């Protein structure tokens, strides 16, 4: 199994979870039974969305690079007599 693709998949899941957390905070913004100030709530929403975008981009680049891992053929003895 390709470790690069597995790592990229787990990073993608982490990015999706951060987006889910931001959505849940946004969905509960009208709840009057909360102790969180609205400015703090929107700050955390922005933080989670920015972090999810950064992790998602990193996961995408890892995934793309993991597909291009071809090993170059080894030349055991380049200076040898042929």
User: What region, left, alpha or beta, does residue 54 occupy, with left being phi > 0 and alpha being psi -120 to 50 degrees?
Assistant: alpha
Tell me the pLDDT of the chain (82 aa) as tens digits: 577 788 889 999 999 999 999 999 998 877 778 888 889 999 999 999 999 999 999 999 988 888 765 555 556 656 656 5
Tokens coding 45: 């929403």
Q: How far is the C-alpha of 22 from the C-alpha of 82, rounded, in Å?
A: 65
* In contact, 74 and 34? CB cutoff 8 Å: no
pLDDT of residue 18: 96
Tokens coding 38: 């609205």
- Model pTM score: 0.73
């Amino acid at each position: 199994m390709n470790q690069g693709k597995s790592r990229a998949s787990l990073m993608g899941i982490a990015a999706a979870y951060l987006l889910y957390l931001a959505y849940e905070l946004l969905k509960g913004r009208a709840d009057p039974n909360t102790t969180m100030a609205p400015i703090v709530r929107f700050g955390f929403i922005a933080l989670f969305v920015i972090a999810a975008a950064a992790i998602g981009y990193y996961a995408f680049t890892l995934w793309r690079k993991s597909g291009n891992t071809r090993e170059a053929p080894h030349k055991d003895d380049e200076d040898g007599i042929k």
